[in-house]
Structure 1
């Protein structure tokens, strides 16, 4: 199964980073690779929660939370007829604050060719997401959009 993983150490408490990664409604303000987010359910992110995410150069996708350990990790997936993308967000304590690990796998009939076409872009997006969450968590306000990546 094609995929990638990226980790970053963040000089902030795990609770602060968790707060940022589950606050998906504010991702467009913080993460330059997210144009818009529409929550399709009320309340905090939970098992079964659905979110429509629009990103530059990608078709809008609906992501459904399939696993969630509050304060620690969540996994969500987006499915089309030929491809399933699974993305995980994991926060763990680290001597310097915490470690955020973002991982993504692709499966399905067109996963191989799709991955060949999108691997470079996906890698840049995952790295930009991690860098943006790091910048937001380490800043006092945490709501400014970071142009890096």
Structure 2
């Protein structure tokens, strides 16, 4: 992680990133309690970690990153995303949007507001996405792979 990304992540946690990560973890716990929500819970925990430290990483489509489809990027992934959207996605997205508006009021909060907007989009449709370090994405692009 670059020094700039480290600084941004530390500021992110101090200025409220921890609360949205806690929201993702709460969603994961609720999903585990339902038993049928365990597959969504695993994704929510991964995204909670990304929400805690978003700078230096990106959420990318798994089929584009790996070059092949899997169960989460096909029809079952779409059905899973619709279920996720109804039960958890809309609420997490609203939380990210409210936080983004509050941060955008200040000049220094604009990069953090932008990160919350990206996370709000991810909250709506997370299945089939993968969290990848920026340097891995750059390395793949340098070698001509998606």
Higher RCO structure (Cα 8 Å, ≥6 apart) = 1
Task: Confirm or deny a common fold (TM above 0.5).
Answer: no
TM-score, normalising length: structure 2? 0.34
Determine which structure has more spread, i.e. the larger CA radius of gyration. Answer: 2
Higher helix proportion, which one? 2
TM-score (norm 1): 0.33
Q: Which of the two has greater strand per residue?
A: 1
